[in-house]
Structure 1
Amino acid sequence: MSLGTAQGTGLAPAAPTGAPGTAGSTSTSPTAKSLWRGGRGILLIALIVVLVAVGGVLLVGSPGVGKPLDPASTSLSGGRGLAQLLRANGVRVTRVTSVAEAQAAASGPGDSTLLLSDTSFLDDDEADQLVAIPADRLVIGKQLHLDRLAPGVTSTDTARARSREPQCSLPAATRAGSAYMGGAVFDAPSGAARCYLSGDAPTLVSYVDGGRTITVVGDGQFMSNLRLAEDGNAALAMNLAGARPTVVWLVAPETLPEGAATAGSLYDLIPPGVRWAVVQLALVVLLLALWQGRRLGPVVTERLPVVVRAAETVEGRARLYRARRARDRAAAALRAGFIDRVTPRLGLPSAAGPDARISAIAERTGQAGDHVGSALYGPPPADEAGLIAMAAYLDMLERQVRES
């Protein structure tokens, strides 16, 4: 019996997958259908991001009614809600867009409050004309002419806007309680009320100068339509802006006069929501790149260029074992194949131990248990003749088990 052709050696490979005349390869080039299947998830994510960004821009408000803290604006950043509250409580609200209109609308000392939400379009002479108006002054944010509008107050840093407690004795603040304050923080002149602290620096400063009350707040979000109903924002805004019978509310005109000061760089004109959208989009792209980068892609199947018969494969492996005198590996392969085929026929579980297998085979075939145990678990044959004899004995045992 030849080692390369013996039946039941346990060395047989998988059956061939095709006839000799059908060998070839399968194209793995991407098709339109596969590209659509692989890219539709990315396209869906991109579409969602675009829709969210467009929706956010639309919610901000349309041009002409979206100016921050404009008493005529119904956008989230506008101030129409506060203007309506002031009017409901008997305060006359006058919206002006120039220094001349502000001078005409302001009453005598103690009768009006000049609310300055945007002074970026004023030059130095116009800022000095505002200072000369005999009215209390409420300055919102870090304005361009802050040194003129609020003498002695300088902006030193910025703070994150959040709900803060008054921590001062200013009646307008203590009656309102917590409010959404932040933005710029200030150095205040001696004797000024310092409220809504960020660390040791106030975000609201109020003091009397020349018989007029000057109040500076670091950020006007607490007065906006979006935040007005939160915490004590409405009460604080009413206490500050409605302390006098008239509020002269200065906002930027629709068309800036020639030579007017600009608000800053192009980056400063970008709404904060757009900046956050860009950051979120960059994060999504990064996560998507990491997700796709770690994938190895689908397994590529390819037909063998040459189909080799199973018998030839067995003979080739047998010759390799013979050339290297690997009788131990050949014997181990023969024994493992025999056990895999015979164990189910004996009604034994796959985890059965050697003793159970030897006893079952000896009982089924009538062979001596010592001979069966030596063939299955003994030392490897010392020569090729011993290996052939072991293969023949195992073949005989398997045939007897099958026929019994």
Structure 2
Amino acid sequence: MSAPTAPAPAPAPTGVPAPAAAGEDRRPRSDRVLRIGGWIAVVVVGLLLAALTAAVGQGDPLRPVPLDPTSTATSGSRAVVRVLEQQGTRVDVVHDADALDVGTGDTVLVDDSAGVLDRGVARRIARTAPDVVLVTNDPGVLESFDVDARPAGSTSSTRVASTASCPIPAARTAGSVTVVGATYDTDDPTVERCAPSGTGADTRWGLLRTTTVDGRVTLLGTTGVLRNDTVTRAGNAALALGLLGSGDRLVWYVPTAAGSDAAPSLGDLAPPWVPSAIAVLGLVAVAAALWRGRRLGPLVVERLPVVVRAAETTEGRARLYARVRDRTHALDTLRLAAVRRIGRSLGLPRSAHVDEVVRRTAAVTGRSADRVGAVLVGGSTDDDRALVDGAAALDELEHAVRRARSGDAGRASRSAPTGTPAEPTPPTTPERPGGRS
């Protein structure tokens, strides 16, 4: 007696999926983790880039601004402001062009060291301020103030230049100044010049003054007379007080990029976080393109099972010619096809000219060349009857050529010596004019 067999396992209930293999379960989970991790990395990189952009746009708040009238750093100008206030000169620091209020006896110091002064604001100050002290290297600003001078570089030396014979009273009173800062060159003989550097034709000037129809403009390149670390050297303090303290009020104007008479641009109206948001969106777009592009893969060319029979093409062209009633073009198409077939039957190359085909056809069929040429070349066709007659003439000429070639082959076989088989002539298949060539 045989041993009892173990019962077969019961099939899984319908609708309940079979448990997946361990590898198949781990693979989708790992792909999902990688996908989520990739998006987290994109977001983190975007946030870092946004923070970096914001930090660069705001600048370093701890870095002192040169010639800042409120700064006690070495590059600031707080010391000059304190001395002016002690001597009774009111100092108003202005950053907004709309807040500029210049009186009759006021002096205006325009500190355009950053090169952001708007041309319209410069022309407005030149018209309203009787005494302007200008710090700039922008040729456009110099032109707006009607100063005939050109920036000629800068010098960082602490050399002391004598100003005892300078035509500018404040510089002559100072006696000497340190030549450090920007220098200028001018060809206008009416411009007063002080604080020279260089010799001969290379002489450049650190202090210029010109008188315009609206007032006087002093171009101050030797900004060391305003800095906290150099104001006490030579006669720097005397020159600074003489230029800025001649009136009861000094307007110290430091322009900003936003202070302009021109209409604000789209970038000026946009919030400061917009560039960072655009950068983050760009990163997301690039990541999405890489993600989807990797999944799509390369393009695949599909071979479509489409075959168009030659007869369909011929019939389509025939219908087209019939629709436009272009009988001459239709007959010319039949003539070209007949010329190719006859030339092939006569053993002529494909490059043979139609005149050569006409001459060989006339020689083989015994007809005149003019008669053969009228059939193969012919002229225009005006009606359907002429089209049918032309097609029939082409058909008859092709048959004549084949008969002539068959007769030549038969005579050659009869004249061949006994025992030597004649060279077989390849069979030809009659073709209708206008058929496939």
Q: TM-score range by the shorter chain?
A: 0.3 to 0.5
**TM-score, normalised by the number of residues in structure 2:** 0.41
Q: Greater RCO between the two (CA within 8 Å, min separation 6)? A: 1
**TM-score, normalised by the number of residues in structure 1:** 0.44
Larger radius of gyration: 2
